[in-house]
């Protein structure tokens, strides 16, 4: 399905998965510089995954998406015969940022090599909320790719609010759940400032879009 540009004011969520976003020999300390994993596409493009609030319009839906993500990773390891209970993937919660904050990073101080920064809707693995965070870098032999990636990840972290901590049902009996170790984001707690009628409309729009997608596999954008 063709990628759709996400409006500037819309929220996106980055799911936090243990052990990827943690450091230390026991992976017992949250590491904000590991929250975002940028994939180098080899052509000056860097990409990472987010969840668009339009298709996870409630906090409960954000968390359901995160739990499915971790469960899918564990199922993949089971099928590959590499699953280890001690190293299983655990969803810990999510952090929020806006599309506007991402786009403002292009050419910002310290990110002069970032030609463009964007977020686009891109369904992946059956998850209709999946969105791509995409950075394009200016070409040049003098590009310090590792340093540029580090600067981008740090800037993205400073655009986040949260966290929205969560324990999936499958880990409800787990002692010392890593969600308790998440750091507060630089912009403070996430607050859903949408008025009640807007939240209701967001739910209606989601269910209409989901019905269209599951029945016709085409439009995800109901009128309005």
pLDDT tens figures, 44-74: 899 999 999 999 999 999 999 999 999 999 9
199 and 187 inside one domain? no
48 and 123 inside one domain? yes
Q: Which domain holds residue 108?
A: 4-193
Q: How far is residue 69's CA from residue 130's CA, in Å, rounded to a whole number?
A: 11
Tell me how many domains the chain contains. 2
Report H helices in the chain: 59-80, 99-103, 145-157, 196-216
Q: Is the pLDDT score of 42 beyond 60?
A: yes
152 and 55 inside one domain? yes
124 and 69 inside one domain? yes
Q: What is the pLDDT of residue 218?
A: 56
% the chain with pLDDT above 70 = 95
15 and 48 inside one domain? yes
Q: What is the pLDDT of residue 199?
A: 95
Q: Is the pLDDT score of 224 beyond 50?
A: no
53 and 74 inside one domain? yes
87 and 142 inside one domain? yes
Which CB contacts under 8 angstroms, 24+ apart, belong to 41-48?
44/115, 44/136, 44/137, 44/138, 44/139, 45/134, 45/135, 45/136, 45/137, 46/134, 46/135, 46/136, 46/137, 46/149, 46/152, 47/132, 47/133, 47/134, 47/135, 48/14, 48/132, 48/133
| Whole-number average pLDDT of the chain | 92
118 and 219 inside one domain? no
145 and 224 inside one domain? no
Q: What is the pLDDT of residue 111?
A: 94
105 and 216 inside one domain? no
90 and 127 inside one domain? yes
């Amino acid at each position: 399905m063709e990628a759709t540009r996400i409006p500037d004011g819309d929220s996106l969520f980055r799911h936090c998965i243990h052990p990827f976003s943690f450091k230390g020999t026991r992976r017992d300390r949250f590491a904000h510089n590991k929250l975002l994993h940028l994939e180098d596409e080899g052509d000056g493009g860097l990409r990472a995954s987010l969840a668009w609030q339009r298709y996870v319009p409630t906090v409960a839906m954000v968390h359901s998406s995160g739990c499915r993500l971790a469960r899918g990773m564990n199922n993949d390891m089971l099928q590959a015969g590499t699953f280890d209970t001690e190293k299983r993937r655990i969803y810990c919660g999510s952090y929020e940022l806006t599309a506007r904050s991402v786009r403002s990073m292009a050419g910002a101080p310290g990110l002069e090599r970032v030609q463009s920064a964007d977020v686009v809707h891109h369904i992946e693995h059956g998850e209709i909320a999946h969105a791509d965070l995409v950075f394009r870098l200016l070409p040049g032999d003098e590009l310090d790719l590792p340093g540029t990636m580090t600067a981008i990840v740090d800037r993205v972290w400073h655009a986040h609010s949260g966290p929205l901590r969560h324990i999936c049902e499958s880990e409800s009996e787990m002692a010392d759940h890593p969600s308790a170790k998440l750091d507060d984001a630089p912009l403070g707690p996430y607050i859903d400032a949408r008025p009640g009628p807007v939240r209701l409309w967001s739910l209606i729009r989601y269910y209409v879009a989901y019905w269209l997608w599951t029945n016709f596999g085409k439009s995800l954008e109901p009128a309005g």
